[in-house]
Structure 1
Amino acid sequence: MSRWDGKTKGSLTGYKIFLFFINSLGLNFAYLLLRVVTFYYYLFAAKPRRALLDFYQNTLHVSERAARKLVRANFYIFGQTLVDRAAFLLGKTEQFTHTFENEQYLIDIREMGKGGILLSAHLGNWETAGNLLKGRITPTINILMLDAEVESIKQYMDLSTGGSRFNVIAIKDDLSHVIAIRNALVNNEFVAIHSDRYLEGSKFIEMDFLGKRARFPFGPFVIASKFQAPVTFVFAAKNGKYSYHLSATAPITDKMKPEAIAQLYVAELEKKVRQYPEQWFNYFNFFAE
């Protein structure tokens, strides 16, 4: 099976269609259209379908029938998270609600005055979580990410919606992102990092995950270990048509090695995958070969 290539999949035409329908006919119609679109992907997107079926059957050990049902739900909910993201960028937020498990932990991090490192994963909807957090916890959320999205889609989203409401710190070969992270933390800002995908050729750490050996990017855990800032694991899963469940773990404030932080992170990620298997949005062979 193929591995992640660092690029966001999707077409410019698809983004234009959904932005138009959200603006003109609302979220309900966009969700209805998703039923058709995601069923098409279920039928014809063979690689991600096979990857998910393998994950559900051979890792979570569900029946073939249950696995196929989970795959269909996965495609549909993933589509919903993209629609929700666009809706927030367009200011269509009045229908959304959320609950926040352990919100106080993030408030405590803010009050420490050292900034905070938020480690998350491609499970649920991290960007909508950030939109829900912004203003309640902190005015600035920085996202550390590979700036590898298709340029035409980025340009259209920026033109149509005003762009992301986050400060993106792009990972660069000259390591300038390390300075940007330091500056953000000095300003008592949060830095959010996806910690579940690595690119071929980059440094990784191999961990036990759901009973198998899996490779995780080493960089996020090195960053969490090197900077003198509290570290927490945050997730935001969709738990209703227009609602999300956010959660945070108790902050790590003591000095820890990257391997130790990775072990705690993987244990928490396992819990979330078992709780929300239909929101595991990794469409490739996740495990070490």
Structure 2
Amino acid sequence: MIAYIQYLFLKGFGFFVNLLPENFSLSLGRSMGKIGYFLDWEHRKVALENLRIAFGQEKSEEEIRSIAKRTFQNLGMMSVEFFRIHRMDAEAFKTRLEIEGLANFEKVRNNKKGALLLLSHFGNWELMGLLTKGLGSQVMVIAKPVRKNKWVDRMITDIRESSGLEVVPSEKASRKILQALSQNRMVGILIDQRAKLSEGVMADFFGRKASTTPALAVLGMRTGAPILPLYLLRNGTGKYRLVIREPIELIQTGDVKNDVVANTELVNRSLEGMIRQYPDQWFWVHRRWERKKSGRRH
């Protein structure tokens, strides 16, 4: 019953924000983020702890708290944009989009090996389907289902697929990934969430080891498909910038175990570089690193 009520609440929220003019709805989302920073003490605590781990020696406490506040505002706007995806047209979306590194995208698309897209919870990652559709490519993304709420899971999947993505549950992904790559398609994998210790590798991230999925490294080494980092930045209200980095040059020495770790660290390094440039656009509210309890005030 509670799960269904949650679903109805989200449906109602989505209906409401679609009644509003876009700029007004985004202002509402920003305000929600400001309020959320003060009311959602648990995620605020996680964000501040993460930021201290990443930037504790580089930024003041005031700077860290400022980044955390802007992160919440970005997430508030993103939640509004997510529920407006079905109203967005891919061609119209391109008029709001500045692209950096388009040649990298075209080169990979023309190599006939498919591509592995390095995706992360950065900027507004949920709009990735619209922009790749606008570039003439359909992308398959691997997503963890919302196991505790089948109605919300179905709703989220429907919205994502309305943007042009093919969404595949992570537990059913292996065969479909290989099939998609053999058809010269692009497969997006989110790499920035803490992996289970039994499934991840300990790879450096902001100078500290973090359990990271080795999926991109393993698939890239196994198939020869290039790993292409994509980052969608917020570039003002209702405007965006897509940054497409050069494909990651994988290390292959023949020592598979060590190569997987080394290549996973290359993946993390790409993301870390973008976060350092735009720290308020990453998903700091996820507990990325394992750590001991701290008595520090938040």
Q: Answer yes or no: is the 8 Å Cα contact 2:100–2:242 preserved in 1.
A: yes
Distance in structure 2 (CA, Å) of the matches to 1:223 and 1:247: 23
Q: Aligned residue for 1:166?
A: 165
1:95-143 alpha-carbon deviations (Å, 9 max, x no partner): 76111111111111111111110112112222213311214141x2000
Q: Give the aligned length.
A: 276
- What displacement does 1:184 show? 0.7
Which residue of structure 2 lines up, in the alignment, with residue 12 of structure 1? 7
d(CA) in 1 for partners of 2:101, 2:279 = 22
Identical pairs, percent: 25
Q: Which residue in the other structure is 1:45 paired with?
A: 40
Q: Structure 1 residues 80 and 219, CA, compared in 2 at 3 Å: closer, same or farther?
A: same
Unmatched segments (≥5 aa) in structure 2: 253-258, 292-298
Paired with 2:248 and 2:65, the residues of 1 have a C-alpha distance of: 38
2:67 aligned residue (70, 77, 86): 70
Provide structure 1 residue ranges, at least 5 long, that are not aligned to the other structure. 1-9
After the TM superposition, which residues 74-153 of structure 1 pair with which residues of structure 2 at under 5 Å, given as runs? Answer: 74-91=71-88, 94=92, 97-138=96-137, 140-148=138-146, 150-153=149-152
Counterpart amino acid of residue 222 in structure 1: V
SS in 2 for 1:240: coil
**1:143/1:193 contact within 8 Å kept:** yes
Q: Following the alignment from structure 2 to structure 1, what is the Cα–Cα distance between the partners of residues 248 and 30? A: 41
Q: Which amino acid aligns with 2:133?
A: K
Q: Which residue does 1:216 correspond to in 2?
A: 212
Matched, 1:206 2:202: yes
Q: Any runs of at least 4 consecutive aligned residues in structure 1 with deviations exceeding 6 A, and if so which?
A: 158-162
Matching residue within 186, 192, 196 for 1:190: 186
2 CA distance for matches of 1:108 and 1:131?
20
Give the drift of 1:58.
4.0
Distance 1:200 1:260, change over 3 A: closer
88-97 or 53-62: which moved more? 88-97
The answer to whether the 8 Å contact 1:118/1:190 transfers is: yes
Q: Secondary structure at the match of 1:50?
A: helix
Distance 1:135 1:211, change over 3 A: same
How far apart are the structure 2 equivalents of 1:242 and 1:70? 20
**Which moved further from structure 2: 248-257 or 237-246?**
248-257
Provide the TM-score with structure 1 as the length reference.
0.84
Q: Which residue of 2 aligns with 1:26?
A: 21
1:246 is matched with 242
Over the aligned positions, Cα root-mean-square deviation in angstroms equals 2.6
Query: Does the alignment pair 1:272 with 2:274?
Result: yes
Amino acid at match of 1:28: N
Higher helix share: 2
Q: Which amino acid aligns with 1:142?
A: M
DSSP-derived class of the 2:27 partner: helix
Deviation per residue, 1:157-199 (Å, 9 max, x gap): 5778974531112121xxx421101111111110000111134
Moved more, 123-132 or 18-27: 18-27
- Paired amino acid for 1:145: A
Distance 1:162 1:208, change over 3 A: closer
Deviation at 1:254, TM superposition (A): 6.2
Report if aligned partners of 1:89, 1:165 keep a CA contact under 8 Å in 2: no
Find the residue that maps to 2:164 and give its secondary structure: coil
For residue 259 of structure 1, what is the aligned residue in structure 2?
261
- Secondary structure of 1:188's counterpart equals coil
Q: Distance in 2 between matches of 1:34 and 1:40?
A: 10
2:192 aligned partner, one-letter code: D
Question: Any idea what SS the aligned residue of 1:56 has?
Answer: helix
Hey, what does 1:5 align to over in structure 2? none
Residue pair 1:47, 1:284 contacting (<8 A) in 2 also: no
Contact 1:116 1:231 in 2 (8 A): yes
The TM-score, its normalising length taken from structure 2, stands at 0.82
